[in-house]
Structure 1
Amino acid sequence: MTVVMESPRSARGLSYAMLESHSLETRGKLEPSYQHLNNPCILSWNNLSYAVATPKPTGIKTILDNVSGRCAPGELTAIMGPSGSGKTTLVDLLADRISSGEVTGDIELNGEARVAKTFRAVTSYVAQEDSLLGSFTVLETMRMAAKLSLPNSVTSKQIEARVDDVGEAMGLATCRHTLVGDIFRKGLSGGQKRRLSIAIELLSNPSLLILDEPTSGLDSSATHNVMKFIVKLCAEGKTIVCTIHQPSSLVYDMFTNVVVLSAGQTVYCGPRRLMIPHFASAGHDCPTYMNPAEYFISLVNTDFEDHANVSKLMQSYAQSEIRKELSDRIESDRNTLQHLPDIEQPSPSAMRQFSVLMYRNTLNNIRNPGIYWIRLFMYFCLSFMVGTMYLSTNDDLTEEDLVPLLFYVQAFLVFMSVAVLPFFIEQRAVFARERANSSLSVGFMVPRDSIPDYWIWGYYLAFHSYSFESFVFKQFENETSDAAKGILTKYGMEDVDVSRDMIILIVYIVGFQAIFAVILWKFHTGRRGVGGSAGVGGAASTGAGGATTTTDGRTSTSTSQNGGAKATATTTTAGTTTGTAGTGASTKQTGYRMLRSQ
């Protein structure tokens, strides 16, 4: 059988050099230092296997077994297969998202072994789930994502142009001021959210885009629209690999290449247009009016009885000209392609990251009723309940009466902290996506000798420095190993005066206690100020005329005469009472009290 393989040039009419002037890369163009992301990328994987340890007697479970494939610029490669066939595992390996387990085989970029920093500089990954904050509009989401992914050399004007161009290309221009939406508010549709997730990853202008189930949870119309946008990206010269569970006939016809997996092994990997003839040669003709994708997936689904002889199909593919042509192309890439330069994705400064994250979190807390306003209302109601439970019961309180109150207070604190967990999970998903795509960086401990001179004052000001160096020094002081001595040398702790550190820490303790005492004396003295007075523990009395307040557990009375009306206020320590002169009214509210000794 003679097989003719389409090259990206003949199939798409694309050049591997410069992209066309009307393409997405040239609109909202980035500065020259960021143009390396226009490099064309051919992604290939050869005899790739992945296994994990299990508690089973064998101890090893093979997820992928000798799978191979290749995707070039302008090509859309779809990875299909039944549930559990290893589709997501394969794209996670290709995207360098798996750090555990045993991986064998080759993953190459332009015929060269993948280098992590170069690979991440030219690649973006779109996960199966949309990790978006529902409190922001499409424009705000893309703008903040751009500021977190593009370097400082990209100006604000260029960022705005890039956001506008990517949003327009992904069909989001009409909903740019629409909220993403969450459980409290309606927002974008499922298809729009998927396009927004893809648009966020396109802001950094990647040459290689990897998507895990881009149509998951979408109806047929939304699926078709999302895939049309992905095909547009291919037409601009991007290399795209995606997993897809059960595409329609229209979506199936959009693919350039198809990979079919079953139980972690390759049943087919080659051009989509040669797939039907290949299976027909193996004795499985696709019915005329049946969706080819559904037919082929049902053939290799070993969970049910009506599947084909999968081993025979694998053997047929392994001996086919399609498999031989794939191997030849992978080998040719190693010898003829120009390798990518040793590049690293530039990142924004720590100050820009801090300012963007501070702005985003503050605005999210204010806009999200579940994070701020509902919890604030709950705090108010529960605090009011606690206060009114012990209203006007001063004389009858006993020590045992405080036990339910103390339990209620600690339970209140615990349950209120748990209430934020659902929103923490939402934000954690966004953080994980941004961290994995190198939009965020993490801090690290810097040894004293490596701290710049203009920041060294922070080291000596922080009390942690003295406790930390004492801990480390006492731990390794008597160790004779080279590793222990190396640690002390690395952190400049060969000779630490522990006694001096302890004295400094004691000075810190005394100093903080003194500052706290001054604050209490200055602001909680119980003396009457203008219009009222406040006592320790929250006791307060206000009125026109004279006032006397005690803070030792006794009761005091303040009486004033104004215009013939009399007001009386009674206060106890740790309670709160307000008396208003001129109204003849008095109120008394008691919270958490100190009881008088009987």
Structure 2
Amino acid sequence: MPMVGEKESPNERSCQGLESIISSCHPITLKFIDICYQVKLESRSSSHCSIRNILGGGPTSTGRITTTSEERTILNGITGMVSPGEILAILGPSGSGKSTLLNALAGRLHGPDLTGTVLANGRKINKAVQRRTGFVTQDDILYPNLTVRETLIFCSLLRLPDSLSKNEKIRVAESVIAELGLGKCENTIIGNSFIRGVSGGERKRVSIGHEMLVNPSLLLLDEPTSGLDSTAAYRLVSTLGSLALKGKTIITSMHQPSSRVFQMFDSVLVLSEGRCMYYGNGSDAMDYFASIGFSPSFPVNPADFLLDLANGVFQTDGTRETDKPNLKQILTSSYSSLLAPKVKAACVDNSPIMMGNQESKSPNNETRISIGSGSSSSSWFNQFTILLQRSLKERRHESFNSLRVFQVILAALLAGAMWWQSDFRDIQDRLGFLFFIAIFWGVFPAFNSVFTFPQERAIFIKERSSGMYTLSSYFMARAVGDIPMELILPMVFTTMAYWMAGLMPEFGAFMLTVAVLLGYVLVAQGLGLALGGIIMDAKQASTVVTVTMLAFVLTGGYYVHKVPACMAWLKYTSFTFYCYRLFIYIQYGEGRSMWSLLGCSQQSNSYSLSCRFVEEDLEGQIHPIISIIILVSMFVGYRLIAYAALRRIKV
């Protein structure tokens, strides 16, 4: 039976399209020999069952917990090869080891648990090969509010080196859009499950476009047709076929391709529980299984037939066979004795092909630029500028969506109406209004920003692992880009509510109030970023920030004045406390003039509730300079904590 390695390899096919802009082709022949991967599983068991154990109280003194570990084989001796211009499809049921094998071939698995040899053009995988390798994950990790064109242009600007001009980088993105057939939807947003955008097939092609921007010689895709209908899946694989015709080596995992998709594969590798059941030309698969006594009695999709065999199911005359309980063992044993020696010989005996590690020459003998995807190509300032532009475009929909704007305006109108033209001497109501502002603009930005890093974690890891930018440029762009997005709505709120409530009618006092509020919003946002970066789970982080803000509000100085001594320190950690104090200082100064204005005297009957607020809230304040210094320290400190938390993430 002819093997994949025996057919004519199209190594000499000319590279077109992107290669004329970026770099010439570096064909890669990939061989993998005896790939094995094991993981250790630890299980805990108790030798004594008690009510306390059942209720989660842990073991009793008479109970004993034993920990046992066992090794589970994920891949067992997988061998094969794929040449430029070919598509290798890895088939098998869920849990058969398809994704693990792809990660191993891409160089993403390391350690003593992984054994075997992976060769690219006869040499071990190195950074030069990894820079020419594209990996498309099963999930489409993209920004939902960016258009297809914006997504690919920003990626091109970040991934391609500074030696290319901005216009050349844009041309690369436009070439990818045309090559992947995305022209009709280039101005449509990506979307997600909550936002209507492009179709699933188009979204998958955008993910492929991310990797095509660097013109990879080796492209690996993890179940790219998952969730697509048969027509969309066929179109996607047709696109992969056109890429293979340009000399690229393509390896993809598939769960259950249609018959016409199956016919497009040059070679097929069938896995069952980590073992190989077949490797060879896709067109020869049915003949091979027929030769060992397994053939369908009626026309059937070859992929469906192979999947049934991989699951240990074989049908004859429309009924399921029941007398072959060891079908998987029979098929893997047959492969080991009949095909495996030929496959290994083809992989070992084939002469190695030297890699083009040096600068490549294009057909017209001009030196082209070799693109690296494993390290950052742009300067720090360029990364910061591009990421800032992308952040502003992505977040404009989130920050100024109609629901959020309506929420802020309604809150301003409601507050302004409730405290409409309040009397300067009605201190209790005035202080209640100021504290309401502190509560609203403490909770609102903190709760919104706590979702930032948990929601962007997948994109952040993907882009950082591709070397698109440094952590510092990403974080600075995020921090700077948040300022205009977060401060516009507080200014609108204050402009409406301040004058409606009749606070101090001096423009200077109004501007000071706005300045304090904007700084306070940035501090609250920093708290959300820090908690989100530390916890990295949206639900848990939202719970923690809610409890934290509750503690800050209770110790903010309005609800409780005589805080128990053991808890008095809490108010000094509350930025709500310092903001509230600054609001009071702007409106009333140190409060001494209010005693005579209200006629307050502790010896007279006129010692009203307002007088008590003068005594407890207006007098004996922390100096405003100290409050400002502490808020600035919190602004910087929270962001440093968030940055340190992001540094813990391994990419």
- C-alpha separation in 1, matches of 2:446 and 2:342: 59
Matching residue within 223, 243, 250 for 1:213: 223
The Cα of 1:52 is off from its aligned counterpart by 1.8
TM superposition shift of 1:374: 4.2
Query: Scaled by the length of structure 1, what TM-score is found?
Result: 0.68
- Distance in 2 (CA, whole Å) between partners of 1:415 and 1:340 is 55
1:597 — aligned with what?
Answer: 615
The one of 324, 331, 334 equivalent to 2:348 is: 331
1:270-419 alignment to 2 at 5 Å? 270-302=280-312, 309-320=327-338, 322-333=339-350, 335-341=351-357, 345=372, 347-366=377-396, 368-369=397-398, 374-375=403-404, 377-379=406-408, 381=410, 413=442, 416-419=445-448
The amino acid across from 1:48 in the alignment is I
The one of 67, 73, 76 aligned to 1:65: 76
Structure 2: how far apart are the matches of 1:180 and 1:557? Answer: 64
Q: Equivalent of 2:14, from 5, 16, 20?
A: 20
- Structure-2 residue corresponding to 1:102: 113
| Post-superposition CA distance 1:163-210 (Å, at most 9, x none) | 222211110112222222245642211111111111121010010000
Pick which of 81-90 and 431-440 moved more. Answer: 431-440
Cα distance between partner residues in 2 of 1:527 and 1:175? 53
Once residues 511 and 177 of structure 2 are traced to their aligned partners in structure 1, the CA distance between those partners, rounded to angstroms, is: 59
On the 8 A contact 2:2/2:281 being kept in 1, the answer is no
TM-score by length of 2: 0.63
Partner letter of residue 249 of structure 2? T
SS of the equivalent of 1:552 reads: coil
- In structure 2, what is the Cα distance between the partners aligned to 1:539 and 1:357? 39
1:552 aligns with 2:594: no
Structure-2 residue corresponding to 1:429: 458
| One-letter identity of the residue aligned with 1:329 | A
Is residue 130 of structure 2 the alignment partner of residue 120 of structure 1?
A: yes
Shift, 1:531, TM fit: 11
1:92 matched residue in structure 2:
103
- The counterpart of 2:3, out of the listed 2, 5, 19, is 5
Q: How far apart, CA to CA, are the structure 2 residues paired with 1:533 and 1:94?
A: 61
Residues 102 and 199 of structure 1: CA distance in aligned 2, closer, same or farther (over 3 Å): same
Q: Give the corresponding residue for 1:83.
A: 94
| Cα distance per residue 1:224-267 (max 9 Å; x no partner) | 11111011111111000011111000111111111111111111
Q: 1:529: Cα distance to partner?
A: 6.5
Matches within 5 A, 1:126-145: 126-145=136-155
Equivalent residues in 2 for 1:152-551, closer than 5 Å: 152-182=162-192, 185-302=195-312, 309-320=327-338, 322-333=339-350, 335-341=351-357, 345=372, 347-366=377-396, 368-369=397-398, 374-375=403-404, 377-379=406-408, 381=410, 413=442, 416-420=445-449, 424-442=453-471, 537=583, 551=590
- The whole-number CA distance in structure 1 between the counterparts of 2:454 and 2:266 is 37
Does the CA contact (< 8 Å) of 2:98 and 2:271 recur in 1? yes
Unaligned runs of 5+ in 2: 44-67, 315-319, 359-369, 474-503, 514-581, 599-609, 617-651
Decide whether the 8 Å contact of 2:107 with 2:125 is kept in 1: no
**Cα RMSD for the two superposed structures:** 3.9
Distance (whole Å) between structure 2 residues aligned to residue 381 and residue 279 of structure 1: 70
Q: Please tell me whether Structure 1 or Structure 2 has the larger radius of gyration of its CA atoms.
A: 1
1:125 & 1:413 partners in 2: Cα distance? 42
Q: C-alpha separation between the residues in 2 aligned to 1:49 and 1:176?
A: 42
Q: How far does residue 426 in structure 1 lie from its aligned partner after superposition?
A: 4.4
Is the alpha carbon distance of 1:529 and 1:48 closer, same or farther for their aligned partners in structure 2, counting shifts above 3 Å?
closer
Structure 2 CA distance for aligned equivalents of residues 159 and 339 of structure 1: 26
Shift of 1:339: 3.6
Match of 2:42 among 55, 59, 77: 55
CA contact (8 A) 1:8 1:73 kept: no
Match of 1:111 in 2: 122
Partner of 1:459: none
Number of residues of Structure 1 aligned to a counterpart in Structure 2? 460
CA distance in 1, matches of 2:612, 2:186: 58
8 A Cα contact 1:128 1:214, kept in partner: yes
Output the CA distance in 2 between the equivalents of 1:225 and 1:594.
76
Letter in 2 for 1:232: S
Evaluate the alpha carbon distance shift between residue 8 and residue 20 of structure 1 in structure 2; reply closer, same or farther with a 3 A threshold: farther
Q: Give distance in 1, aligned partners of 2:243 and 2:281.
A: 19
Deviates more, 1:192-201 or 1:182-191: 182-191
Sequence identity of aligned pairs in percent?
29
Query: Using a 3 Å threshold, how does the CA distance of structure 1 residues 374 and 182 change in structure 2: closer, same or farther?
Result: farther
How many angstroms does 1:281 deviate by? 1.7
- Which ranges of structure 1 fall in alignment gaps of 5 or more residues? 445-525, 542-548, 559-569, 571-591
Contact 1:80 1:243 in 2 (8 A): yes
Q: CA deviation at 1:220?
A: 1.1
Name the CA distance, whole Å, in 1 between partners of 2:440 and 2:506. Answer: 36
CA deviation profile, 1:352-382 (whole Å, cap 9, x unmatched): 211111110122111x236766445545555
